[in-house]
Amino acid sequence: MADGMVTFHVRTSTHGPMFNGRTRRATGDFSDEWEEECAEYALDQVRKIHTASFREPTGYYASHVRIRRDSRGPYVGDGGIIPYGPWLEGVGSRNAASRFKGYHAFRKAAAMLDRKAHSIGERLLDRRFLRRMN
């Protein structure tokens, strides 16, 4: 984490005999859409955790947590401009000195995404891409 910014990235890789020749473009599109759907799922999980956890939500922090993009692809983050973001997540320097250990929303959402990413990809492949690859 740079500058106390709380984020996580989703990366996919495509390799093997299915990912060559005429399927190359479709698999690239599939990979992009899979990353996007995974980021949307992760964002939804972070928001659910925040909704369930925040005692007196103002909406300010939640309004800054969204899907962002960089050269590596989509990711869920708060933009690094909220100074108390790392504290809310539990990775700030003040967490060690206080009783509050953080909500761990991004960490929990990442674990949920690890369990769900395969089925998200299967559903997307069945729904949108198998016809294009034949």
pLDDT, tens digit, for every residue of 30-85?
Answer: 889 999 999 999 999 999 999 999 988 889 999 999 999 999 999 999 999 899 99
Residue-level pLDDT at 26? 76
Residues in the chain: 134
Enumerate residues 6+ apart whose C-beta is below 8 A from 10: 35, 38, 39, 42, 73, 74, 75, 113, 117
Residue-level pLDDT at 3? 56
pTM of the predicted model over 0.85: no
Least confident of 18-27, 40-49, 78-87, 95-104: 18-27
Mean pLDDT (the chain, rounded)? 86
